């Protein structure tokens, strides 16, 4: 994953929307970060932030297995 952190683009256009995550859990969208192959969304669920990931053309969200430092720096 060489230089993968440089590829993440932040999209806040949908900020505030409710989205369905995993297991019928809904969250309020804070931001979505995208690269060439996947996206990571930051959502507020029950007063906590969750990080969820999906393939770039999918809405099948699952809990993120890792969060790149570049995403954390750009929240």
Q: What is the pLDDT of residue 1?
A: 45
- How do the domains of the chain map onto residue ranges? 4-73
* Spatial separation of the C-alpha atoms in residues 32 and 11, rounded to whole Å: 5
How sure is the predictor about 24, in pLDDT bands with cuts at 50, 70 and 90? confident
Please report which confidence band the pLDDT of residue 3 belongs to, taking 50, 70 and 90 as the band edges.
low
- Under DSSP, the state recorded for 10 is E
pLDDT in tens, 6-16: 589 998 788 89
């Amino acid at each position: 994953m060489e230089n993968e952190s440089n590829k993440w683009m932040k999209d806040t256009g949908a900020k505030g929307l409710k989205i369905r995550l995993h297991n019928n859990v809904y969250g309020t969208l804070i931001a979505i970060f995208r690269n060439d192959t996947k996206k990571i969304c930051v959502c507020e669920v029950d007063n906590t932030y969750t990080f969820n990931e999906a393939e770039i053309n999918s809405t099948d969200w699952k809990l993120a297995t890792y969060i790149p430092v570049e995403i954390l720096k750009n929240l």
